[in-house]
Amino acid sequence: MSFVEVVSCGIASVQDLGRRGYRALGVPVSGAMDRLAAAYANALVGNDPREAVIEVIGSGIELMFFSSAIVAVTGAKCVVELDGAEVREWQPIRARAGSRLRVSPPMHGFVTYIAVSGGIDVEPVLGSRATYARAGFGGFEGRYLRSGDRLPLKPIDIDSTWRRVSGMIAPDYVRLARAPLGVVELRVTKGVNSDLFEDIDSMLRATYTVSPQSDRMGYRLEGPKLESATKLGRLPSLPVDRGYVQVPPSGLPIVLMSDSQTTGGYAVALHVLPPDVDKLAQCPPGTQVRFVEVDYEEAEKAVRRYLEDLEKPELVSVEEESEYAYYVS
């Protein structure tokens, strides 16, 4: 069996596009924080977009290959080296048996994905290979990765796959959206309890800062407090999802992320659109964000486009793509 070994890593886990169909039993969806970057990593190595990849949050990783493989690194902007030579992100790379891949902590953005041809072949749990570390299941032994872990790979015909993906790259708009600059705008609709907040419009005027107390479950935001939230308290728990903006009595919003619990008792003020949750995932603590409201039709349109991209990530050939766009960040 072929595998890849974790030589060293920061906060890394095996993720895919999530675990569906069990939320009524309390099982969270989990999966990649930046779903589109994970789907593109897979596409670049010839995998189905739903295959399992390695996710690294706000830190770096070094991997060693025990057989030849095609690899792609996507997501945050990092320095990537294969056997000491710098290689580019968002493009397929060919590793040999014994190759070492080193990915630096992000210089821009926050979450990095590494896909390997075939996909990480851990046992699916409830239909998904995503790690849900809080309950200790999914992914590799239900936990974050450590040095010495050997991740099994699905067997694949490398040469024919290489002929298909070599010279391809992810399009500009996908790469650039993952290197946020300035105040990041997140498109939202009103959330399911928005009518409980009489001063909700103030949330749309505010600028928030991503708090260091953020993780795979939720990103806390610091900024002006929402006055009406202090009087609300708890509601009967209601179903919640990735992208829901809860406002607890502290008045400071929490945006639920991929490890979102299935239900919650805090009122939900806004809902960040799925592609913009990807964008938020790439915002390290300290990043300034603001909410921009769109209507439901525009939200549906954005979701349709996003689901198409996730299912069929479109690659372009390197020659067609501008070099400028890549280096602008």
Chain contacts with other proteins (rule: CB under 8 A) = 20-28, 125-127, 132, 134-138, 189-192, 235-239, 241, 243, 261-264, 268, 271-274, 296, 298-304, 307-308
d(CA 168, CA 62): 24
CB of 108 to other proteins, least distance (A): 27
d(CA 95, CA 71): 7
For the chain, the maximum distance between any two Cα atoms, rounded to a whole number of angstroms, is 63
Question: Quick one: CA torsion of 289, 301, 263, 36, rounded to 10 degrees?
Answer: -70
Burial tier of 173 (Cβ tally within 10 Å: 0-12, 13-18, 19+): exposed
- Please identify, using beta-carbon distances, which residue of 303 and 325 lies nearer to other proteins: 303
CB of 134 to other proteins, least distance (A): 7
Q: Judge whether 151 and 14 are in contact, CB under 8 Å.
A: yes
CB of 157 to other proteins, least distance (A): 32
Interacting residues of 157 by C-beta distance below 8 A, sequence separation 6+: none
CB of 18 to other proteins, least distance (A): 11
CB of 115 to other proteins, least distance (A): 25
CB of 184 to other proteins, least distance (A): 18
- Please identify, using beta-carbon distances, which residue of 102 and 220 lies nearer to other proteins: 220
β-pairing, 168-169 vs 100-103, is unpaired
- Please identify, using beta-carbon distances, which residue of 126 and 318 lies nearer to other proteins: 126
d(CA 191, CA 244): 7
- Please identify, using beta-carbon distances, which residue of 9 and 273 lies nearer to other proteins: 273
In Å, how far from its chain's centre is CA 218?
12
Q: Give whole-number Cα distances, 283 to 96, 144, 156, 266, 274, in Å.
A: 33, 21, 35, 24, 15
Q: Judge whether 222 and 209 are in contact, CB under 8 Å.
A: yes
CB of 260 to other proteins, least distance (A): 11
Which own/partner contact pairs does 296-305 have at CB distance under 8 Å and 24+ positions apart?
296/189, 298/187, 299/187, 299/189, 299/273, 302/187, 302/273, 302/274, 302/275, 303/273, 303/274, 303/275, 305/275
- Please identify, using beta-carbon distances, which residue of 175 and 190 lies nearer to other proteins: 190
- Please identify, using beta-carbon distances, which residue of 161 and 193 lies nearer to other proteins: 193
CB of 198 to other proteins, least distance (A): 17
- Please identify, using beta-carbon distances, which residue of 93 and 203 lies nearer to other proteins: 203
d(CA 231, CA 5): 52
d(CA 107, CA 113): 14
- In the three-class reduction of DSSP (H, G, I as helix; E, B as strand; rest coil), residue 306 is classed as helix
CB of 64 to other proteins, least distance (A): 30
- Please identify, using beta-carbon distances, which residue of 307 and 325 lies nearer to other proteins: 307
- Please identify, using beta-carbon distances, which residue of 151 and 310 lies nearer to other proteins: 310
